[in-house]
Amino acid sequence: MTDTKIAVIGGSGIYDIDGLQDAQWTTVQTPWGAPSDALLTGRLGGVDMVFLPRHGRGHVHSPTTVPYRANIDALKRLGCTDVVAVSACGSLRETMAPGDFVIVDQFIDRTFAREKSFFGTGCVAHVSVAHPTCPRLSAACLQAAGDTGVTTHDGGTYLAMEGPQFSTLAESRMYRDSWGADVIGMTNMPEAKLAREAELCYASVAMITDYDSWHPDHGEVDVTQIIATLQKNATHARALVAALPALLGGARTPCSYGCDRALEHAIMTGPDARDPDLLARLDAVAGRVL
């Protein structure tokens, strides 16, 4: 049994955690470069918490330039056990309206300009992301979201696009009609894949801000509309985060879904053929198995 340490990765509109005790911004160095920003550490409800602003304070990183590997490494290096990603998204479903939350359980990764793995030449590993989010952690997020009063959908497929431009109408229709995606965003990939490689439980809370461009009654995405909805969503998101310590508890048993053992049989490269320099960079992410 270990101590729970909850990490919250805040997306657009979420830049801190309310009520955090002993709060301090901590600079973390990683072998993958600097994270998006310093990390806010403290305790909430008797449970250790870490907050990371995905885009940096002031929103300085685009979805493509977010240092995803450094972010996940920093969370692992600080001893985090559970990662809750909060993100602004567009909706591809009439029933998932702006202001609603979706507890994502699947992804379609359409990003192409980002480093997507900690592993590579000199240490090859293949983890399963068939089920890319942790059902236990997602269930806690579902309950916490529901308790805030916000309309919350249990399950949904998140289409991760490269951005930073929004979708064309043709793309939006394809993602919705042909591919079966439910929400669209720009930041949960490769974040979810890297969290799995780092053996971290990961849950995704999508905060819907708009109907993307497919909806015949709403037209193209308007940034002013998104910001207005973001501000409303942020209140519910903060309440969700505040409820997590009580739901997850301070003591943590091994994940019943195996998220914290994802590397158990994943590394393919034999010990004698492994690159020492890469192994050194993997000290936090894969130290348990290496």
Please write the tens of the pLDDT for every residue from 89-134.
999 999 999 999 999 999 999 999 999 999 999 999 999 999 999 9
| Confidence (pLDDT) at 230 | 77
Looking at 37, 73, 212, 260, which residue is catalytic?
212
Cα 239 to the center of its chain, rounded Å = 18
- Name residue, tokens 């490689």: 197
Q: Is 210 a catalytic residue?
A: yes
Residue 211, C-beta contacts closer than 8 angstroms, at least 6 positions apart: 90, 91, 92, 98, 218
Looking at 37, 100, 210, 260, which residue is catalytic?
210
For residues 289 and 267, the answer to whether their CB atoms sit within 8 Å is yes
Give me the residue spans of the domains in the chain.
82-286
Backbone dihedral angles phi then psi of residue 27, each to the nearest 5 degrees: -85, 130
Q: Is 100 a catalytic residue?
A: no
Say whether 242 sits in a helix, a strand or coil. helix
**Three-state helix/strand/coil letters over 51-95:** EEECCCCCCCCCCCCCCHHHHHHHHHHCCCCEEEEEEEEEECCCC
Report which secondary-structure segment, H or E, holds 50.
strand 47-53
Provide the 10 A C-beta neighbour count for residue 257: 16
Extract the residue ranges of the chain whose pLDDT is less than 50.
none
For residues 98 and 73, the answer to whether their CB atoms sit within 8 Å is no
C-alpha 14/C-alpha 234 separation (Å) is 6
Compute the residue count for the chain.
290
| Confidence (pLDDT) at 218 | 61
* Pick from 43, 44, 55: nearest CA to 11: 55
Exposed, middle or buried: residue 178 (CB in 10 Å: 0-12, 13-18, 19+)? Answer: exposed
- Name residue, tokens 């310590």: 245
pTM of the model: 0.95
Provide the 10 A C-beta neighbour count for residue 1: 7
| Confidence (pLDDT) at 102 | 98
| Confidence (pLDDT) at 148 | 93
* Pick from 145, 156, 32: nearest CA to 96: 156
| Confidence (pLDDT) at 272 | 97
| Confidence (pLDDT) at 233 | 84
Which amino acid does the sequence have at 145? A
For residues 184 and 206, the answer to whether their CB atoms sit within 8 Å is no
Q: How open is the CA angle 89-95-96, to the nearest 5 degrees?
A: 15
Backbone dihedral angles phi then psi of residue 226, each to the nearest 5 degrees: -60, -45
82-286 CATH choice from 3.40.50.300, 2.60.40.10, 3.40.720.10, 3.40.50.1580: 3.40.50.1580
